[in-house]
Every structure is written in structure tokens, then in C-alpha cells.
Structure 1
């Protein structure tokens, strides 16, 4: 037997009578609940239609389940459709969900976290549920994450991080009627137990030593006492800020970034040979072998590419720190692949955006995106047991004294 069709005329008559008798439009006496109930059941039926259409296996409707649900408008018995195969999972109201409102907002936040604009979300809700939700309402819902952002930004950190990466991404933000570029400073690291952790994200006008100093000071205020190894690109202010607040940190500049910067000056016909000879430097078995290869590299190319040679020589100390460590730790250290992988995931979310309306609009989507990304951070890097042992032996005093 099919679901009884909603009698709008009957509902209208009963609602008017209810209002005349003193009932309201909220709470247990809400005269609008029957209409809300019918809307929800219609939306669930629409989800079922989509499910059946997209199902790869033969499937059909199989009646309804009933459950009592609570809303901020009152409670009522809801009929939810079921299918013969039993694999229908409604999104608007989950199978075991008995409270409505919060889950709907979470659905909007989930769509926003995937990079959908307010207009995209409006279209999605209208197509799937027949709901026309205003931009103001959507903005108000996403604003509810602001206290969570503030809490996350102030959370306590580990006292010691074995390795951290520092990087910056750039986004367009509207400010005072103009579109400006903002740098988002990102700090990602591994704890001593090999757990990946996003320590923070900070928005600034531009990259500078002064702002990096502010960032690292904030990390200290949140409990960070020591960094064993800091990996970064050779951008302005990075090394100076780290050495100022964490003078014992072993700083490693990214080899891959150094090579990319070198290739800006190298002609196409020289690139293959140039790259092969660079490999002899950073793939050397030890520092002495690397220095020998660097001397040969310099002798061959110094006349044709003096700026490249000068850059390698100026950064040599920071480019070769990884030779002090075993092969398992070297692979982690000498590139910024770890943080660049995170950046790529962020870009997949933000790529549809033009300019963000404010710093907070940018931070909202960054926060929601990182929430989804960091859920997957469960495994440790390969051979972490050996890596941890190596770090403890090398930095025993610092690891033991920090509390």
C-alpha cells in the first residue's frame, strides 16, 4: 500500500483552527509540523528516486520505515523509504538519525568544504531537496565554524616535533574594494611518534621574516618547545625566523626547489646533462662525495651559469644537512613533498574559487578542508621505528629534557 498523499486543504483548515485556538508555530503545538513532515518525506522520496536510477544492480522500492524525529520545531513520526537491496543511504536524514537540523547544517558545511560556492550549494539543495536556501542563511551556517577555528588555532601542541615543514600558499582576497594577494603560512610536522600534524595556518599580506617570527612565537606560546629538523623552501625570512627562536633546529632546504630555481637559467639543450650532474651531488653516499661532485659541477658550469653556481654555494650548508642522517630519514628530509602533498589537496578544494570575500571566508574553507584531509592521517612514514631511534640517539639530551 502506497504512502497516503498529503491533503493540503485539510492541513490548511487544521492549521488555521489551531492558530485560532492558541497553538503556535514552534514547539510541540507547531501547526506547521505536518507540512514540514510532508516536505521531508518528499525530499527523501526524491533521494530514493535518484538512488534507484543510479543503482548498478536491479532494485526497487520496498515500503517505508517509521521513526520519531526531533527538530527545533517539534517532534513527529517520519516515514522513510526503503529499497529491496537495502543499500539506500539517505543524505538529508541518515538511517539512525533522530535529530534534524544539525545534520542539515553539517551537509552544507561538507559541500562548502569540497569547494562549492554558495551558488553551487543553493543549486544542489534546490535540485535534490527542492529547498531554496538564501546566501545569507548559508553564510550564517558556515559562520558557525568560526568558534571552532578559533579553538583549533589556539589548541595545545606537542612539546617536541621531530620534523616540521614550513611553506606558504597564495590566495586572492577582496579588501577595501580591491582584490589583493594574501599569503597563508602553513606549518606541518611529525611528532616523535611519527603522527602527522598540521600545527597551524596563518594569513598575512606577504611572506616576510617578521611574520614568520610571529608565527613561530605563536607556536611557542601554544606549547612547542623544540624542533629537531626544519625543512623548507629558501624563501625570504624562513631560516632567519627558525634560527632566532629554535637555534638548535637542524635546517634543511628543499633540494627539489633548488633544482627548479636553477633550471630557470639553464637552456633546454643543457638541461638533461645539467640534471644528471646535479643528481651526482644530492644522490651521493656522503657529504665528502657530494662536495667532490659539486666541485666538478662548478668547474664545468661556472662560466656559463655563474648565478646558479653562486646560489648552490650560498645555500650549500642548508642543502646538505640530510647527509648527517640515514637513508630512511634522508628521503623524508631533502624535499618538501610532505607539505606539497597537503597543499595540492587544499588547491583541489579552492581551485573553483575566484577571490574570497574576506580573510575569514578564506580561513573557513581552509579549516573545513583540512578537517577532511587530516582525517586520513593515520599511518606513520615507512621505517619510523628506525627513524625515531636514530633521532633519539642523535638528540638524546633534547628529547629527554623537554617535558
Structure 2
């Protein structure tokens, strides 16, 4: 009987399987190919073919056992060759693992993108007819720990970061049988090539000077140098920590938060003109024009008692809110607010909202870290930059 010779590129076949919409005929063909590939693997391990006598033999064939391989396109039943000593193993799946890596990574991706553990188990069952326990999905996410930890501790002495944005957001975590609020500190930097990088993050207690100080110290210990500008809101503890940790660095008060602070002191009715006037102060093309608009605002509304507090707030915080004018004009729209970090926070919120309450701090660190890593990959890829300078 003529024997068929297979020259298989396993990785290519596997890649095609992942992309295929398998029907029964194709699935049967894949079973034949995978089984033949494993037979070839055993021959290579044995250094001979079936019924061939060889002095180099160091083991004996011992039939087959049946095993299902779960792909992200369905379950494939295979006949796995074995040897008497039990030392042979196939490349198709790791020993004692029924799910291939691509399928596990697909499950992990669902979790990272905000699909709840319960929904993941249902999706897997619908796609593959195979039940996956919640504990398996939860255990799978722990595979992220070394990856997230390594990324979160990457050295920061390979680049100089001109601008750093910092902010804190709040999440709910279960701790000692209670649900408590935790702050997530995030730092985003723009390096000397005008590309964005996430410098670090931390899940800790409530926002305070001490916790901000610890966060900045952790960045500095990894090699971070004082930037030209730190952009943030006006949290008192944050401001103090910036001053103490980054000498010779200017602080840019986020103009969006600052305007909000001023407007909150103004009457809700009849203040539309004043609100529009305020916004133009920080949209001015130059510092000189901005100061002129500020003086005009004060002159126009200073005799109205309803705007006394607003004028006091504007006057007290104005200098901190116009530090961006010392930088290149092309950067102004990006560095006068923390909008870029707010968008990053919203991506975290999108995934975190599905979970609502993290079971512990470690799980919060794991998921938020994975989301931030995913976001960073899409930031300024290739030759793209965060801002393009037209001035010298």
C-alpha cells in the first residue's frame, strides 16, 4: 500500500485553523492532519518509523490515547501517540493542558476588555460546547501578574520626559469583608521624541500628600528625572508632593479643572457671558493676550457682588494655569489640560465598570495594569507623535 508523505508547516496550519469558520468536513480534515503531524513527531522522537528496526532506538511505541483539543473555533478530537516510557510529548498542546494557548489568550483578552467571568464561561460554552469553570478563568488572569509587574517596573532612565501628566481615579475594592474606596494613581509622560508613555501606576488608599510622595519616589527610583512641566489638578497633597519631589519643575494647573472651580462660584443663571469670557482667557494664542483678557474680565465684573468669589479664585490661581505659555506654541493645546489622561482613565473605567467591585487589591492592579498596557500599545505607533512642532 502506498504511504502518503506529509510535509507540514504546523504553525501555518494552526494559524489557518484559528482564522477558519470550520464546518464538519474541514474539521475532520484538520483532525487527520494533526494526527499525522503527531505521528511524525513520534517518529522523529524515536529516530525511526513504524516497524523499522534501528540500533538507535531508545524507546518503544505504545499505541494512542484520545484527547480533545479546544481551539477558539471549537473542540477537535485527536489520537495522541504515546511511548512506553512516557517521555514523548506533542507540540500541539502542552502536556496535561486541554486548551491551546491561543484559546486561553482569547479568554484572557475577554476578561481584560471588561467581559465578566460569568459571561466568559457562557461564551466559551456556546462556542465550543465545553464548560469552563469560573475558577479556571480567574486562575488564567493570574498569568498576567509577572507580565504586568515587569511592565510596571520598567526602567525610566532610557528617556527624558519633558511633560508628565498625573491624576488619581477611584475604584471599589473588597477588603476584610467590606467594600472600600481605593485610589489609582497614574502617570503619563511625553518623551523627548514627543511620544507618550505610561510611566507607572499604583493602587493605594485615599489620595493624600503621603501617597503621592510614595508614588513619585517609586518613579524616581526607576530613573525618572525632573520634567519641565507636571500637569495635574489642584489637589493640595498632589501640589505639595510635586514641589518636594521635582525641583526646578514647573506645575501646570489643568485649565479645565480650574475653569470648573471658578464657574462653581458664579450664579447659574445669567452668567453665560462671563463663562464664555473666562474660556477665552486660556485659549488665547499668547500669554500677553491672555493677561489682557483676564484684566478685561476683572474690570467688567468686579463691581458685581455675584462675581467677587470668581474673580478672587481666578486671580489666585491664574499664574499656575498659564505655565504652558513658556513652551512651544504647538504643544499648548495638549499641555494646558489633563484631557489626555482623562481619556486614559475612561478606558480603565470602561473595563472596570463591568467588574464594579474588585475582589482584592491584587486583582485591581492586575486588570488595570493589563488595560494600561493595552492602551499604551496604541499610543503614537510608528512615526506618529503626540504633537507636531512647526516652530524651531
TM bucket by the smaller chain? Answer: 0.7 to 0.9
Q: Distance in 2 between matches of 1:109 and 1:296?
A: 57
C-alpha deviation, 1:153, in angstroms: 2.0
State whether residues 29 and 74 of structure 1, in contact with CA within 8 Å, keep that contact through their aligned partners in structure 2. no
In 2, the alpha carbon distance for the partners of 1:259 and 1:381 equals 24
The CA distance in 1 between the partners of 2:72 and 2:153, in whole Å, is 42
Q: State whether residues 69 and 100 of structure 1, in contact with CA within 8 Å, keep that contact through their aligned partners in structure 2.
A: no
Quick one: distance in 2 between partners of 1:236 and 1:371? 29
| TM-superposed deviation, 1:304 | 0.9
Q: Say if 2:265 is the partner of 1:265.
A: yes
Change in CA separation of 1:74 and 1:166 when aligned onto 2, cut-off 3 Å: closer
Secondary structure of the corresponding residue to residue 206 of structure 2: coil
Contact persistence 2:331–2:387 (CA under 8 A): no
Q: How far off its partner does 1:352 sit?
A: 1.7
Tell me what 1:138 maps to: 137
Structure 1 residues 247 and 101: alpha-carbon distance in aligned structure 2, compared to 1, 3 A threshold: same
TM-score, structure 2 normalization:
0.74
1:357 is displaced (CA, Å) by: 0.5
Looking at structure 2, the residues matched to 264 and 161 of structure 1 have their Cα atoms a distance apart, in angstroms, of 34
Q: Does 1:71 align with 2:103?
A: no
Q: How many angstroms apart in 1 are the aligned matches of 2:139 and 2:283?
A: 53
Residue 374 (structure 1) aligned with residue 379 (structure 2): no
Do structure 1's residue 43 and structure 2's residue 47 form an aligned pair? no
Tell me the CA shift for residue 42 of structure 1: 8.3
Which structure 2 residue ranges, 5 or more long, are not aligned?
Answer: 1-23, 32-60, 77-89
Shift of 1:203: 1.0
Q: CA deviation at 1:188?
A: 0.3
In structure 1, the partner of 2:318 is 316
Q: Is this contact kept in 1: 2:226–2:247, CA < 8 A?
A: no
8 A contact 1:159–1:226 mirrored in 2: no
In structure 1, list runs of 5 or more residues that go unmatched.
Answer: 7-27, 46-67, 76-98, 390-403
Deviation at residue 148 of structure 1 after TM alignment: 1.7
In structure 2, relative to structure 1, the CA distance for the partners of 1:369 and 1:41 (3 Å cut) is: closer
TM-score normalised over the length of structure 1? 0.72
1:94-136 superposed Cα distances (whole Å, 9 cap, x missing partner): xxxxx96322321121011111111111111111112211122
Cα separation, 2, equivalents of 1:114 and 1:375: 14
2:232 alignment partner in structure 1 = 232
Whether the 8 Å CA contact 1:232–1:254 is kept in 2: the answer is yes
- Alpha-carbon RMSD: 2.7
1:128 has 2:133 as partner: no
Q: Secondary structure at the match of 2:227?
A: strand
Conserved? CA contact 2:93–2:100, under 8 Å: yes
